[in-house]
Structure 1
Amino acid sequence: MLMKFPVIAFAGVTATVIGIAGIADGGHLRKGLGDLIASAAPELAIPFSDAGDSKTGVREPGSRDVAQAETPSEAEIPPADKPPAVDESALRYFASQGDTARLQAEISRLRALYPNWTPPEDPLAVPRNKDVQLESMWQLYSEGRYAEVRKAIADRQTKEPGWQPPADLLERLDVAEARARLINASDLKQYETVIQVGASTPILLTCSEVDVLWRVAEAFSETKRQGRARDAYLYILRNCDSEPERLATLQKAAALLPYAMVQELLSYERPNASGTLEFESIRDDLARRFVAEGEGDATLAVDPKYLQRVERLVETQATASDALLLGWYHLRRKNMSAAEQWFRRARDKQDSASASQGLALTLIDRKAPEEAEKVLYPWRDASADARATYMAATANLLAIEPPVVLTGEVLQRIAQETVKARDPATAQQFGWYARALGQPQTALQWFSTALRWKPDDEPSAYGLALTRHQLGDTAGTADIQRLWAGRSERIARLAEPEKPAAPGPLPAPPGQVAQPNAVEGSQPAVSAIRRQDGSPARVATSPRQVVRRTIGCRETLDPTRLSPQSALARGWCLMDMNRPLEAAEAFEVALRAPASAVREDAAYGQSLAYLRAGLTSKAAVAATKSPQSRARVAELQTAILADRAIAAFDAGRYRETLIFLDQLRRISTERTDLMVLRGYAYLNLNRFAEAKRIFEAAAATGNPDARRGLADVTREQEVWPNK
């Protein structure tokens, strides 16, 4: 909807324009806004001349354009001393009405049209029109009753065949009717008609008709001709002086034009009467609009001054909407830390679906899906986007390794929402989550449910087949393999016998060494990896495990007699002495500390202790006993997954080994030694091409075990057909 502003009264009739626009530039007139209409509708274009008022750029109706005029005969050129024939009917009418403003406007018009014409000394003394019928026509015209004017003219011409109405009246009537058609078409969103009427009536395109210019600009914008819309707004800012109309012009342009074009228009800002810049009163709204535009277009570089202005608005006005603008702007540019800050500010001011959804997205990105689920759960049904984000949070939450220990209430509501949304991704993750917790029957239900909702979900089909195979359901496994024949190699090979691991070299993780092989060149087995002290080795020594003083923890004592802080110190001391099970007991006491920092260190230490002892499941549980920093979470997840992959390989469960390695690769770069482990898992599953590809990549780093793996692949391929 276009805003309506008062249009300048000219030539005695409000909103009546009597000139064709020209643009004043350095004292010279150029072609006016009609040019931009001409380019849009050249068949309707009316050429422009340089005739007109050098100040207003107005050219009067009734005069012929230079480009259209033929060479006149001498009879058509009036002698210099012959006074021009001036139609003063409008002048007399306005004088009779006592309308001083319109009278003066008409005098100015006639002076511009007839430079040698001299107005009456006392315009109000001009005698009343003697033509009563014409007087009535002017009255109808001034009241906007144009159809009645046409009828009055036609009736009089019928009665008086020789009578002709004043040319000025006809021209004014044509313009007024064109204006009405243009406005009506604009209101009805018939934008091509708006442009056509403007093209055929260019005298409407002047500073006297800013409302018409706005409508023409809107028509150009809505028909994807933004450059022409920009020209219309730019014409107003270059040539028109009404401050309210200039302000409204910038507002309308900002709502329709792209950011870069609006910046160009802003360069035509002028100081106002008070000395301030004329657009200062809308500067806050402009900044908001530009930041919002940047939210919709991640490639748009919004000037930092606009961002800073919106930031100040958050500080001074404490509005949640402004904080939300900044949050979504930064989210679109992957500035997740800044986005999280602004979404939290918005939620502090006013919790909403938008703020919660934005915050949840940042939390998912930084691998905090548990908080994301909690934040978004109350708003999960606010919109389709909110629900999609909530389901993404739940899927990520269930996929965390090691599995997060969730309360029954949280699991229940996630399950309900998964069923309600029929979300296959979360259903699949429920399957893997149940497997990790040792609940294969539950896993079967969730994998089957995911496949009902998404029959082509290969990971769910693989999870279902893997679980059935481990439960000894040979027929069920075969059914899945038939359904997925030719579509999934890993499902097809699932029931193939796995070769037992033979002794062989495998690079040990940091802090571990591999025992010499009994048979040179045989396949490596992770079970052969042992610490130098002979105890099972699963993970690298943590950076936290630096050399400490061991005096004071050599003796055996009951850690429950110690304070939490002392128990924490004893735990780390015992870790230095490689007594992990005793250390775990000490860390358990430290977990009772009131200080969160002590509890965090205790949970971290106990998890490391269990990992060193080879108790991976207990390590995973210990890691959840207190919130950890992002770096520690990543470290523990990496260690636990690596440990599980090694344990699965030791037990000859090569498919599980690959699952753990795939999960590990999602959160960190795969170490070379684990690449070799992956290669041998493929080799044991007779997946020679994949094994060779992995060994080649690892061998490129100079790893000798990877080179040995390549030789093993070649040897196995040679003997495979004979087996």
Structure 2
Amino acid sequence: MPAVRGAIRLFAVALLGVGTCFHAIADDIVPPWDPRPTGTVPPHRLRLPAADVIEVQQEMPRPPLETAQAQPAPASPPAPVVSAPDQAGQRPKVDESALRYFARQGDTKRLEAEIARLKALYPDWTPPADPLAVPVNVDEKLEAVWALYAAGKYAEARRAIAQRRTDEPGWTPPPDLLERLAVAEAREQLVNASNLHQYDTVIRIGSGHPSLLTCSEVDVLWRVAEAFAETQRANRARDAYRYILTNCDDTQERLATAQNAVRLLPSEMADELLALERFDAAGVGEFGPVRDDLARKGVAAGGADPAVDASPEQLARVEKLATAEGKASDSLLLGWYNLRHGQSEAAEKWFRAARGIEDSAEASQGLSLVLVARKAFEEAESVLYPWRDANDETRSSYLAAVANLLGVEPRVDVPPEVLQRMAAAAASARDVAAAQQFGWYARAFNQFDTAGKWFSTALSWNPDDEPSAYGLALTYHQLGNATGLAELKRIWRGRSERILAVGERTRGQPAGGTPTSVAVETPAAPPSAQSVAVETAPVLAAPRNNAVSESAAAPGTASRPRGCADTIHPSTLSAQGALDRGWCLMEANRPLEAAEAFERALATTDGHARSDAAYGQSLAYLRAGLVDDAAVAAAKAPQQRRRVAELQSSILAERALGAFENGRYVEALIALDQRAQIAPERIDLMVLRGYAYLNLNRREDARRIFEAAAGTGSRDALKGLAAVDENASQR
């Protein structure tokens, strides 16, 4: 028996490194580790050949694990001291008291474990043919102690033993009972130390009780392995896990061992242990769930960092899991991975799949980002609206979707209820960029009073926001608020040249703003545009002129230099350089600076370049709301017939809008009539005409126009018809 226990002790030394350093003597004494099961070693403990048994000193206090010195191996193993065998070769006496107790209790599981334990300690011992038929122990007092032990009442069991020794001086408790109590108490102490993260204590207790380090005590082995891993001794942790996977057979315990190893060990060591996987008759490996989790981990890492690539095998495994198991979490992993790696189509597929299984803030945010990327802004806003306040990220993503929806060219006719909820979200977030974009959107619909309020709100939240100040300056100029404009220029003098330049080129009364869909605030006007919001998405600093085609708005775009962030006076540039810079400034929504650049480009003798420069300058003035200047610029060089029609229709539309805004309804109708001779009347301008008639009390003409426009599905026209009926009822 001592020889066998010496084998157990050797494993404890090899695993725990207490008393004798395993690594210092492994090359000389212990043969290399062979992970292959031999078929002769019981799965619940490690046995080494007698020649490899090493006795170790158990000194107190023990030296630190890393500095423990190896003791020289004896020339031959110590003579085993077996319990009570005689010289005639009789078998040692086996303490079967625990076996009898478990048989009496009918505890088959513990009975089988006890049989396995005794067979490991006494290889020549033969268990009873029918363990449950073992004769009942008639020692009732001893049975009571075993009952306390089985109930985990170790202190009470100790007291009962002590009391009986006092009452019966000649009585001796069974050695197996005492050993079991000691082991149980050690197990309890080790578990408590592990729960308290006292890892050195875990290792110390484990080293002192080798019988705990067997397949019947897998939980203890896990805790010892964790203690090694948490104290930076990964090699020792790997050895513990490898012992379990090499010698223990319980399927669930093997799977849990692999999971723990993957969680605590470096990937190289974890892969080494996963190679010990066993397969069933169908070829299915026992570590499939572990490999699934590793694949998920790899895909998740790639979803968090675009620089990290998951392997094709990992992606294929997670896709198979997402399809087979239908978990929203797997679809989300694939959605974020594809989004971060520029695969928008695949990302949309998986985000939609995740929302189909379980709608959530994360799934909706991911889908919204994909939809924004492919310019499906209206759906992006609708998808994320219910989750807009789930967290800061969803709020930012929602505001980005809103900004892109309202900043798209041509402007989208957003339903009033959607505008209201977007406005509320932006105001709740107190977002400066959102308030600024509200202002530009309102200007695009010629709601200059509303635009001014939004720009002022943005400046109240951040007085140093120059784009908002610029928008407010343009709005003051178009509203004729000279006092407000002068104050803005005073505040921004020396900080913004474009604010100081607002209004300096005006040669006549400004007439309106940029032409887009019409919704003008008058005594009988359609509802005003209300909102736009942005935080992270690209923002259009000022709306473009929709009346002019994109292809014509920027000739030669493909070959133009795009950098114009610096400040360069146009006079220092060549004519062609100034022309290129002008278009770049237009794309950057800096129309007044662009107009100066185009003016320099007009000095060229190249007729085609002069035509482009005059065309660009006219567009720049239109975007800045300087309609008269735009008309003058258009006449500075001959233009193609198509451009002439576009510019004239745009200028006349602007004049109609400006005249309507200032209450000059007859002039607005004249400008609309002139424009109608050049180009078909747009629906928004038909609505404007209807309101002009209404404000001149020409209700029948207004009704006729509104009915024609309403036939196209225009909501503004329908509102105009309602306004006609309301106006008639008041007469």
Q: Is the 8 A contact 2:258 2:290 kept in 1?
A: no
Per the alignment, in what secondary structure is the counterpart of residue 362 of structure 1? helix
Q: Is the 8 A contact 1:96 1:127 kept in 2?
A: no
Matched, 1:364 2:372: yes
Partner of 1:171: 179
Matched, 1:272 2:280: yes
382 and 227 in structure 1: CA distance in 2 versus 1, 3 angstrom threshold = farther
Whose RCO is larger (CA < 8 A, sep 6+)? 2
**CA RMSD between the two structures:** 6.0
Per the alignment, in what secondary structure is the counterpart of residue 600 of structure 2? coil
Q: Deviations over 1:67-107 (max 9, x none)?
A: 317999x9998799858999847324524765798778767
Of residues 185, 205, 212, the one that matches 1:204 is: 212
Of residues 358, 363, 381, the one that matches 1:373 is: 381
How is 1:649-688 mapped onto 2 (pairs within 5 angstroms)?
none
Structure 2 unaligned regions, length at least 5:
22-28, 32-39, 59-70, 507-568, 584-596, 618-638, 650-677, 686-731
The one-letter code of the counterpart of 1:267 is: A
The one-letter code of the counterpart of 2:279 is: P
Q: How many corresponding residue pairs?
A: 519
468 and 532 in structure 1: CA distance in 2 versus 1, 3 angstrom threshold = closer
Identity %: 48
Of residues 149, 153, 158, the one that matches 1:150 is: 158
How is 1:676-715 mapped onto 2 (pairs within 5 angstroms)?
none
Matched, 1:343 2:351: yes
Matched, 1:431 2:439: yes
Partner of 2:575: 505
Matched, 1:90 2:160: no
Q: Is the 8 A contact 1:120 1:126 kept in 2?
A: no
Partner of 1:7: none
341 and 444 in structure 1: CA distance in 2 versus 1, 3 angstrom threshold = same
Q: Is the 8 A contact 1:506 1:526 kept in 2?
A: no
CA separation in 1, counterparts of 2:424 and 2:145? Answer: 77
CA separation in 2, counterparts of 1:365 and 1:37? Answer: 65
Farther-moved stretch of structure 1 (242-251 vs 197-206): 197-206
CA separation in 1, counterparts of 2:643 and 2:489? Answer: 48
* Distance apart, 1:385 and its partner CA: 2.9
How is 1:83-482 mapped onto 2 (pairs within 5 angstroms)?
88=93, 90-95=95-100, 98=103, 133-159=141-167, 165-184=173-192, 197-198=205-206, 201-216=209-224, 232-253=240-261, 263-272=271-280, 275-280=283-288, 287-288=295-296, 290-292=298-300, 294-296=302-304, 298-315=306-323, 320-347=328-355, 351-400=359-408, 403-454=411-462, 457-464=465-472, 467-468=475-476, 476=484
* Distance apart, 1:439 and its partner CA: 3.5
78 and 353 in structure 1: CA distance in 2 versus 1, 3 angstrom threshold = closer
Q: Is the 8 A contact 1:18 1:59 kept in 2?
A: no
Structure 1 unaligned regions, length at least 5:
1-10, 12-16, 24-28, 40-47, 513-520, 541-574, 586-613, 622-723
* Distance apart, 1:327 and its partner CA: 0.7
Q: Deviations over 1:664-686 (max 9, x none)?
A: xxxxxxxxxxxxxxxxxxxxxxx
120 and 459 in structure 1: CA distance in 2 versus 1, 3 angstrom threshold = closer
Q: Is the 8 A contact 2:9 2:210 kept in 1?
A: no
* Distance apart, 1:298 and its partner CA: 4.6
Q: Deviations over 1:232-271 (max 9, x none)?
A: 5444223322223213333455667787665444322112
CA separation in 2, counterparts of 1:36 and 1:484? Answer: 76
CA separation in 1, counterparts of 2:413 and 2:323? Answer: 39
Matched, 1:34 2:104: no
* Distance apart, 1:195 and its partner CA: 6.0
* Distance apart, 1:366 and its partner CA: 3.9
49 and 114 in structure 1: CA distance in 2 versus 1, 3 angstrom threshold = farther
CA separation in 2, counterparts of 1:37 and 1:364? Answer: 66
199 and 131 in structure 1: CA distance in 2 versus 1, 3 angstrom threshold = same
How is 1:559-578 mapped onto 2 (pairs within 5 angstroms)?
none
Partner of 1:596: none
Farther-moved stretch of structure 1 (298-307 vs 426-435): 298-307
Q: Is the 8 A contact 1:427 1:446 kept in 2?
A: yes
Q: Is the 8 A contact 1:247 1:278 kept in 2?
A: yes
Partner of 2:652: none
Matched, 1:68 2:57: yes
CA separation in 1, counterparts of 2:197 and 2:30? Answer: 32
* Distance apart, 1:415 and its partner CA: 1.0
The one-letter code of the counterpart of 1:90 is: D
CA separation in 1, counterparts of 2:110 and 2:208? Answer: 26
Of residues 511, 524, 537, the one that matches 2:600 is: 524
CA separation in 2, counterparts of 1:429 and 1:219? Answer: 57
524 and 225 in structure 1: CA distance in 2 versus 1, 3 angstrom threshold = farther
CA separation in 1, counterparts of 2:428 and 2:328? Answer: 31
Per the alignment, in what secondary structure is the counterpart of residue 524 of structure 1? helix
Q: Is the 8 A contact 1:295 1:325 kept in 2?
A: yes
CA separation in 2, counterparts of 1:437 and 1:446? Answer: 14
110 and 358 in structure 1: CA distance in 2 versus 1, 3 angstrom threshold = closer
TM-score by length of 1: 0.55
Q: Deviations over 1:542-583 (max 9, x none)?
A: xxxxxxxxxxxxxxxxxxxxxxxxxxxxxxxxx998587499
CA separation in 2, counterparts of 1:456 and 1:582? Answer: 38
The one-letter code of the counterpart of 1:212 is: V
* Distance apart, 1:176 and its partner CA: 0.9
183 and 434 in structure 1: CA distance in 2 versus 1, 3 angstrom threshold = same
The one-letter code of the counterpart of 1:66 is: E
* Distance apart, 1:207 and its partner CA: 1.9
Q: Deviations over 1:386-416 (max 9, x none)?
A: 2221012223334445654544343222112
* Distance apart, 1:222 and its partner CA: 7.9
Q: Deviations over 1:630-688 (max 9, x none)?
A: xxxxxxxxxxxxxxxxxxxxxxxxxxxxxxxxxxxxxxxxxxxxxxxxxxxxxxxxxxx
The one-letter code of the counterpart of 2:99 is: F
Q: Is the 8 A contact 2:101 2:146 kept in 1?
A: no
CA separation in 1, counterparts of 2:470 and 2:228? Answer: 56
CA separation in 2, counterparts of 1:94 and 1:479? Answer: 99
The one-letter code of the counterpart of 1:339 is: A
Q: Deviations over 1:131-154 (max 9, x none)?
A: 764454334323432122111123
TM-score by length of 2: 0.54
Q: Is the 8 A contact 1:451 1:460 kept in 2?
A: yes
CA separation in 2, counterparts of 1:271 and 1:483? Answer: 78
The one-letter code of the counterpart of 1:91 is: E
Q: Deviations over 1:472-531 (max 9, x none)?
A: 656645666777789x45589668978999898345569x9xxxxxxxx99814587864
Q: Is the 8 A contact 1:373 1:390 kept in 2?
A: yes
Partner of 1:691: none
CA separation in 2, counterparts of 1:458 and 1:580? Answer: 35
Partner of 2:622: none
Q: Deviations over 1:209-233 (max 9, x none)?
A: 1233344556677899888766654
CA separation in 1, counterparts of 2:462 and 2:598? Answer: 44
Q: Is the 8 A contact 1:402 1:620 kept in 2?
A: no
The one-letter code of the counterpart of 1:94 is: L
